[in-house]
Chains A and B, each alone.
Chain A
Amino acid sequence: MKKISFTLNGERRQVHVSPNEILLEVLRYKMGVKSPKSGCDSGDCGACTVILDGKAVRSCLIFAVEVDGQEILTLEGLSADGLSPLQQALLEKNAFQCGYCAPGMILSAHELLSNKPHPTEGEIKEAISGNLCRCTGYQPIIDAIKSLTQKR
Chain B
Amino acid sequence: MAIPYEFHYEKPLTLQAALELLDKHGENSRLLAGGTDVANEIRMGFRVPGLLIDIKGLEELKAIRVTDGALHIGALVGFDTIRASKPIRDHCHILYEAAGLVASPGVRNRATMVGNICSAVACMDSAAPLLVHDALVHCRSLGGERVVPVAKWFVDNRKTCIGGRELVTHVSIPLQEVKCAGAYQKMMRYTGEDLAAANVGVLRFADGRCHVAFGSVGPIPKRSPRLEKHFLEHGVNPESIVRAREMLEKLIKPISDVRASKEYRMHMAGVMLERALIAAGERLKMPRVIAGKE
Contacts and interface: CB of A to CB of B under 8 A. Distances in A.
B7 interface: yes
A66 B76 CA distance: 14
A25 B7 contact: no
Contacts of A49: 106
Interface in B5-24: 5-9, 11
Interface in A43-83: 43-46, 49, 55-58, 60-63, 65-66, 68
A121 interface: no
Interface centre among A49, A65, A66 (most CB of B within 10 A): A66
Given A41-B1, A44-B193, A63-B52, A56 B39 contact: no
Contacts of A44: 193
B43 A129 contact: no
A129 B105 contact: yes
Given A19-B8, A41-B1, A57 B39 contact: no
A46 B104 contact: yes
B191 interface: yes
Contacts of A22: 2-3, 39, 43
A147 to B, nearest CB: 21
A61 B43 CA distance: 9
Given A20-B3, A65-B9, A57 B109 contact: yes
Contact of B105 (A43, A127, A132): A127
Nearest to B48: A20
Nearest to A55: B109
B163 interface: no
Contacts of A19: 6-9, 52
B41 to A, nearest CB: 10
Contacts of A46: 104, 106
A127 to B, nearest CB: 6
A130 B109 CA distance: 12
Contacts of B56: 66
A18 B6 contact: yes
Chain B contact surface mostly? loop
A129 B35 contact: no
Given A130-B107, A130-B193, A61 B35 contact: yes
Given A55-B80, A129-B191, A130-B193, A62 B39 contact: yes
B103 to A, nearest CB: 6
A25 B39 CA distance: 13
A105 B9 CA distance: 31
Contacts of A38: 1
B25 to A, nearest CB: 14
B36 interface: yes
Interface of A: 2, 18-22, 25, 38, 41-46, 49, 55-58, 60-63, 65-66, 68, 104, 108, 111, 125-127, 129-132
18 contacts: A19-B8, A19-B9, A20-B2, A20-B6, A42-B40, A44-B193, A55-B109, A55-B110, A57-B106, A58-B106, A61-B35, A61-B40, A63-B35, A63-B52, A126-B105, A127-B105, A130-B106, A130-B193
Interface of B: 1-3, 5-9, 11, 32, 35-36, 39-40, 42-43, 52, 54, 56, 80, 103-107, 109-110, 191-193
